[in-house]
């Protein structure tokens, strides 16, 4: 990732200051460490933490609880200004000529272990229901109000076997349980999705213009079987299944999901990230 001249000049100055610091012997090492930590940009801290947390990343490999919490704390502290985001940026404005508001993706970085990026949604923008197979996902809402609906497969539910094997349910349709169905307004804490729980399948709808920072570990990869799948969701009452009994008041917690092609209305455009830069090391 490129580094602007202004930032490069500042980094050069900091390096010269570090050099002078090293010539001071009294408590030089500890003071140097404290100064470096104080000067580190939030985006650099995020990158460095991701590199360590996802060092052993792979399909269905979840970081340790300590590392999950460590990365969550860093993300919880990230603010829009740390990434150069303001609500008046053109990414957050809807175009009257577009039936479906285009979503902008600001690429931060991607390697075989993790990826970092920012989705910018104008009002009414929608990221269709999709999954993250074998991946651990950290999502941090930075700006605005967003409706999030997420699901997990109902694999441990007593009704699952009968529902998924019923001849009245079309092939490819599976029972899922709603994990989240609420509005969230920034600032709010980071949400975490695991390979088989936490709401691995989710949909974002922008109530107002909003931005969300996504960290995926590992990233999508077709050769490694981590292909993004899209889904339609149907109410539980859509299919009648013998042997499946769900109380009326519980039925809104279940949905039928059917895999679909990538929605034609989903338009995601890439744009250059112009916020504070970081060094991939």
Mean pLDDT of 4-16: 32
Which tokens is 203 given? 């949909």
According to the model, what pLDDT value does residue 276 have? 95
* Mean pLDDT lowest among 13-27, 28-42, 70-84, 121-135: 13-27
Please give the distance of CA 123 from its chain centroid, rounded to a whole number: 19
* Model confidence pLDDT, tens digit, residues 47-62: 999 999 999 999 999 9
Q: Which residue has the tokens 């997990």?
A: 152
**Angstrom distance (rounded) from CA 253 to CA 180:** 10
Tell me which DSSP letter residue 162 carries: H
According to the model, what pLDDT value does residue 237 have? 80
- 3-state secondary structure (DSSP) of residue 31: helix
- 3-state secondary structure (DSSP) of residue 230: strand
Mean pLDDT of 154-182: 73
Please give the distance of CA 52 from its chain centroid, rounded to a whole number: 18
Tell me which DSSP letter residue 177 carries: E
- 3-state secondary structure (DSSP) of residue 42: helix
| pTM check: above 0.85 | no
Q: Are 191 and 75 in contact (CB under 8 A)?
A: no
Mean pLDDT of 71-94: 95
* Model confidence pLDDT, tens digit, residues 84-103: 999 999 999 887 666 788 99
pLDDT band at 250 (very low <50, low <70, confident <90, very high): confident
| Axis crossing angle, helix 28-39 with helix 5-22, rounded to the nearest 10 | 160
**Angstrom distance (rounded) from CA 54 to CA 63:** 7
């Amino acid at each position: 990732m490129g580094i602007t001249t202004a930032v490069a000049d500042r980094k050069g100055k900091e390096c010269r200051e570090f050099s002078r610091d090293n010539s001071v012997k009294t408590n030089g090492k500890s003071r140097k460490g404290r100064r470096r930590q104080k000067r580190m940009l939030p985006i650099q801290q995020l990158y460095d933490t991701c590199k360590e947390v996802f060092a052993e990343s792979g399909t269905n490999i979840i970081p340790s609880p300590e590392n999950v919490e460590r990365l969550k704390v860093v993300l919880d502290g990230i603010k829009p200004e740390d990434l150069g985001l303001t609500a008046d940026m053109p990414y957050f404005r809807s175009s009257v000529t577009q039936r479906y508001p285009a979503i902008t993706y600001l690429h931060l970085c991607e390697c075989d272990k993790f990826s970092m990026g920012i989705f910018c949604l104008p009002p009414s923008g929608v990221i269709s229901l999709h999954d993250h197979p074998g991946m651990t996902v950290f999502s941090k809402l930075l700006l605005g109000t967003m409706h999030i609906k997420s699901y997990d497969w109902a694999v441990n539910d007593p009704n699952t076997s009968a529902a998924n094997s019923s001849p009245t349910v079309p092939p490819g349709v599976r029972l899922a349980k709603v994990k989240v169905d609420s509005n969230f307004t920034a600032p709010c804490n980071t949400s975490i999705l695991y390979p088989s729980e936490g709401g691995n399948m989710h949909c974002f709808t922008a109530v107002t213009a909003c931005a969300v920072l996504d960290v995926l570990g590992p990233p999508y990869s077709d050769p490694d079987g981590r292909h993004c799948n899209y889904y339609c969701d149907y109410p539980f009452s859509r299919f009648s299944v013998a042997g499946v009994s769900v109380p009326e008041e519980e039925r809104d917690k279940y949905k039928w999901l059917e895999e679909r092609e990538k929605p034609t209305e989903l338009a995601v455009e890439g744009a250059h990230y112009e916020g504070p830069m970081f060094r991939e090391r």
